[in-house]
Amino acid sequence: MPLDDLLQKVWDGGRITPEEARQLYQLPLHELGALADRRRQLAKARAYGGRGAEIVTYIIDRNINYTNVCNVYCKFCAFYRTEKAPDAYVLSMEELDRKIEETLALGGTQILLQGGHHPGLPKQWYLDMLHHIHSRFPQINIHGFSPPEFIHFQKVFDEPVEQILKDFRAAGLGSIPGGGAEILVDRVRRRIAPLKATADEWLHVMETAHQLGLCSTATMMFGHVETLEDRIEHWERLRQLQDRSLARAGTRRATGPDATSGGYFTAFIGWTFQPDNTRLRLPRVGGVEYLRTQALARIYLDNFENVQSSWVTQGPEVGQMALQFGANDLGSIMIEENVVRQAGASFRMTVAEMHRLIRDLGYEPRQRDNWYRLVN
Binding site residues, as ranges? Answer: 70, 74, 76-77, 146, 182, 310, 332
Cα dihedral 29, 34, 35, 39 in deg (nearest 10)? 130
Calpha distance 128→116 (Å, rounded): 18
Dihedral-angle region of residue 16 (phi above 0 means left; psi in -120 to 50 means alpha; beta otherwise): beta
- Could you tell me which residues are annotated as the binding site for S-adenosyl-L-methionine? 76, 182
> Comparing C-alpha atoms, which of 169, 246, 171 is closest to residue 207?
246
Q: What are the angstrom distances between the C-alpha of 288 and each of 130, 210, 236, 284, 343?
A: 40, 34, 23, 12, 20
What gap in Å lies between CA 186 and CA 15, rounded to an integer?
A: 25
* 347 within 8 A of 325, measured Cβ to Cβ: no
| Residues flagged as binding site for [4Fe-4S] cluster | 70, 74, 77
Q: Are residues 96 and 132 in contact, defined by beta-carbon separation less than 8 angstroms?
A: yes
- Spatial neighbors of 331 by CB under 8 A, at least 6 apart, are 58, 59, 269, 308, 309, 310, 311, 312
Query: Which residues fall within 8 angstroms of residue 209, CB to CB, at 6 or more apart?
Result: 165, 176, 216, 263
Q: Which residues have C-beta within 8 Å of that of residue 251, sequence separation ≥ 6? A: none
- Torsion angle, CA of 364/367/373/376, rounded to 10 degrees? -90
HSE, CB side, 13 Å, CA atoms: give it for residue 304: 32
How many angstroms separate the CA atoms of 166 and 243, rounded? 23
Q: Which residues contact 287 (CB under 8 A, 6 or more apart)?
A: 314, 318, 321
Backbone angles phi, psi at 364, to 5 degrees: -100, 120
